[in-house]
Structure 1
């Protein structure tokens, strides 16, 4: 059985048992008048408790039109940047908007350096290359963005810039009346107001994502045109691909198929799966419920095999999969702007189906507060982070874990296999790497290695996800702490050889990064999650050693 729903340049194809499973949910959504209510921004769709916050978070529905004023608002900063030869755009931010900006620029082939990290190696490399041509876009008021703003300010000053020349090296995107706006006006930074009724998770078409993309040379109006073509279909009860996808996501979360495996197969949307991951995990993973997104490398990767716990989504054309049951799944095609709106709408619909508030982040603050507690110290002193001795040392890799979890494992391979076996029934393993996302990109290969080894160890292989820290704190972090309690975690940290002080703060980036890692690990363990931390005494050698142990 196959159902194809097409409108506004988007096509959602649903095959096999998924059609019947989602049909009852779709009929209920239609009978409840959800398409019209959501298009009319009815804040009560997610219940009375969620209504006050939802009333302040539904502006994303109008972004395909309201964001068109950005081009005019950016005319001045863009002209100044061109005249000064500032053709290297660096985004200092965090959350869904930063991931969206990266996907926009990668898909368009535009150069944008995204720094949503506290890794000193990654930041040092960006500081060392082309600072004379750099314009920094600061979005939001996250700890990462504020630290990077201070670091770049000092770097520009040390390069001889001062006064207006230094101030104009920054474009600040924040809400009106915020501390960021006041600071920007005080020192003369360019300021662009962001939408007060849009958060980062649902803000792919908002100012915090589009301003850096536009300054990098992307035609953002073309992106908005793509979204506008779909927007007209969102009120429709039928022939509404976003509603159909929302019914699929919602019905999957209610069933035992609560792992959403996402593979790209020729979509041309570079980086989109990472954005979809943060949206789905953050909007649905709470109150012990949710849908775990698992982006994999491609349709042939370990972890994409069909099991009774997985719902598979393919971005792009669907490969030929003969055989009974193999056709079960969903494929989505369409341009990037429309895809952003499609998935935001579908996530909001799925949240109603499973009974959660898509805009709340009740568990994200736990890691933030845990990090803040580690950073609190007497003025002028570094944060207090106490590391216990490792339970196992294998070459350049230290293994930190409760002894009862490792069960006497004597080698790194044994330790990793013990962790895979500790994944709860119907659970998953998340790899969280607090490393250099560019210089140590090969760490992402650990996902497929662990998935492949887990398939050999367990009768029911556990899905394996991979996230960069601290990016994942703003993405899947909500699901890891608020979703179903069936996750196990492998955190990876690395030695710092060249640290970066944070001006005006009593800590360096390396200390901040470690505080974020320890803070998150402390929360996960307090929730009873199996968690192992690997510390690489030498990053390059450590990754090679770990890869060899899993190969």
Structure 2
């Protein structure tokens, strides 16, 4: 099925589900922003979260504002754009600028080495875009404080270098006005973060960095007529049915692979959209971003009965039950948002709330308010080389090596479950951590996911706690050699990332999930040990 700039192909079509969606006029009702589509419990939230439906048209006035500010900044020699944002505030601008091949430094970490490296790059040419609906997000607030101090230390007027994206009337908008920041862009308050790609949250940082965001809106607007049609040819209904009816048939995992396409990094954005929208009430779709479609991983090369494999672009191989979506980035944004909302109706959840996201934030705040003393800090079960191992004695069952500990957590994964690898490390300097996913996935009969923390807390973190309760979790933390203060706060970035890591793992453990933490006393050596052990694990 195709529309202008978009193709959706489903080799295992859910014809009955599509017929029901057509009969119920779901497409036209969604285009009309009918908040009753997801039932009475969801209606209050849905009624204030459907602004994304016509963003390709309503976001047009932003273009002139973005263009004018970009021209001013370039005239002043300010061409290094840094984005401080989490979840939808960072994932959409990242895929937009990566696809457009324009530079944008994305700060979605609290690792002190990441912050220090970003601040140390071209500060004299830097503009910081801080994106937060409320401004209370601990990561973005900490980034803003660190940059203001760095600007002041360099003799630069900090407020003139800060651009804010927030909701109208938010505490952040008030702060920005009070402190005299360069520019405040107000986003549509009736759009949730994961649906905000075509609001100011996606368009402002990408546009200031040099991406053609007008073209992005053109691409999305071109597919609106097709997405509003109550027809079996509607590509969003086909995709939504494949996801939603697939879930009802037991396929609760969506493996996202990137084939030949003009779009780069779409899986990370779709991962948040799927996980936060559907992972709740013990239901939902677990997204597994595997990178290239040639990766020989379970669920892509040999999809099991719990998997719907999806290719973004032309796949390098064909697999049973494959769904292919391809086209321009703007079109893909619009069709996936529509399809996931449709899938939510079929699954029976509210796709616009995220009831479990706040749990990790509260746990981190608690640890920051009352940090454990050196005497009360937990002791490792054992140490092996550059790795300290923390976990339940029953789970570890006498293990004394990293390989044995990994084997223990692999054995603890429930039937039709998954293993999540969560790395609170430096996404660039410790990039080898991402190799752990394919190394383990090649030898286990279940899906393995990977995410850098705290980034994943604003993405798959909702699914981990609210979705199907069949996960096991491995967290990886690393020694901090050069910490960095958070100005105006009684903690450092090193303490903040530790609190976020330990707090989230504690919640997962308290919910009864198998958990394990590897702490790297030497990051490079420790990662080498983990990769070696991952290659030896067998089930």
TM-score range, shorter chain: over 0.9
Q: Give the whole-Å Cα distance in 1 for the aligned partners of 2:223 and 2:372.
A: 49
Q: Name which of 93, 109, 118 aligns with 1:101.
A: 93
**Structure 2 residue 440 is matched with structure 1 residue 447:** no
CA distance in 2, matches of 1:101, 1:383: 37
Per-residue deviation, 1:268: 2.5
TM-score, normalization by structure 2: 0.96
What does 1:103-252 correspond to in 2, within 5 Å? 103-140=95-132, 141=135, 142-162=137-157, 166-189=158-181, 190-238=183-231, 239-252=233-246
Whole-angstrom CA distance in 2 between matches of 1:118 and 1:137: 16
| Aligned residue among 397, 412, 421 for 1:431 | 421
- Secondary structure in 1 aligned to 2:287? strand
Moved over 3 A (4+): 318-321, 382-387
Corresponding residue for residue 260 of structure 2: 266
Find out whether 1:530 has 2:514 as its counterpart. Answer: yes
Q: Does 1:346 align with 2:354?
A: no
Match of 2:473 among 489, 497, 500: 489
CA distance in 2, matches of 1:477, 1:413: 26
The 1:316/1:55 distance shift into structure 2, 3 A limit, reads same
Q: Is the 8 A contact 2:384 2:400 kept in 1?
A: no
List aligned pairs for 1:302-451, cutoff 5 A. Answer: 302-303=297-298, 304=300, 305-321=302-318, 326-377=319-370, 386-451=376-441
Q: 1:387: how far off?
A: 3.2
Q: Distance in 1 between matches of 2:372 and 2:218?
A: 48
Q: Distance in 1 between matches of 2:279 and 2:91?
A: 19
1:516 matched to which residue of 2?
A: 500
CA shift at 1:383, angstroms? 7.0
1:7 aligns with 2:26: no
* 2:38 alignment counterpart: 46
Residues of 1 paired with 2:122 and 2:35: CA distance? 46
* Partner Cα distance (2:275, 2:465) in 1: 11
Deviation of the 1:318 alpha carbon: 3.2
Classify the secondary structure of the residue corresponding to 2:194: coil
Classify the secondary structure of the residue corresponding to 1:296.
Answer: strand
SS at match of 1:98: helix
Q: Does 1:294 align with 2:288?
A: yes
Tell me the CA shift for residue 75 of structure 1. 3.9
Q: Is the 8 A contact 1:226 1:335 kept in 2?
A: yes
| Alignment check: 8 A CA contact 1:374 1:384 kept | no
Q: Find the aligned partners of 1:69 and 1:175 in 2 and give their Cα distance.
A: 16
CA shift, 1:410, in A, is 2.2
Q: Deviation of residue 364 (structure 1)?
A: 0.7
Indicate which of 41, 44, 47 corresponds to 1:55: 47
Equivalences for residues 273-284 of structure 1 within 5 A:
273-284=267-278
Pairwise CA RMSD: 1.3
Determine the C-alpha separation between the residues in 1 that align with 2:79 and 2:7. Answer: 37
Paired positions, count: 526
Residue of structure 1 aligned with 2:22, choices 17, 20, 30: 30
The question of whether the paired residues in 1 share the 8 Å contact of 2:294 and 2:316 is answered with no
Gaps of 5+ in 2: none
The structural deviation recorded for 1:328 is 2.1
Q: SS of 2:197's equivalent?
A: coil
Q: Residue 258 of structure 2 contacts residue 315 of structure 2 at CA under 8 Å; is this kept in 1?
A: no
3-state SS of the aligned residue for 1:71? helix
The Cα of 1:299 is off from its aligned counterpart by: 2.3
Q: Distance in 2 between matches of 1:482 and 1:32?
A: 28
> Shift of residue 63 of structure 1?
0.8
Q: For residues 272 and 317 of structure 1, what CA distance do their matches in structure 2 show?
A: 14
Distance verdict in 2 for CA 1:315–1:216, change over 3 Å: same
Query: 1:415-464 CA distances to partner (integer Å, 9 max, x unpaired)?
Result: 1111111100110000000000111111100000111232xxxxxx0100
How far has the Cα of 1:298 moved from its partner? 2.1
Q: Distance in 1 between matches of 2:254 and 2:506?
A: 27
Which whole-Å CA distance do the structure 2 matches of 1:29 and 1:446 have between them? Answer: 40
- CA drift of 1:80 comes to 2.6
Q: Secondary structure at the match of 1:232?
A: helix
How far did 1:329 drift?
Answer: 1.3
The secondary structure found in structure 1 opposite 2:227 is coil
CA deviation after TM superposition for structure 1 residue 320, in Å: 4.7
Question: Relative to structure 2, which stretch is displaced further, 403-412 or 149-158?
Answer: 403-412
> Counterpart of 2:195 in 1: which secondary structure?
coil
Query: Does the 8 A contact of 1:8 with 1:231 survive in 2?
Result: no
Cα distance in 1 for residues equivalent to 2:315 and 2:517: 38
Deviations along 1:389-408, one digit per CA (max 9) or x if unpaired, are: 11121101011000101121
Aligned equivalent of 2:65: 73
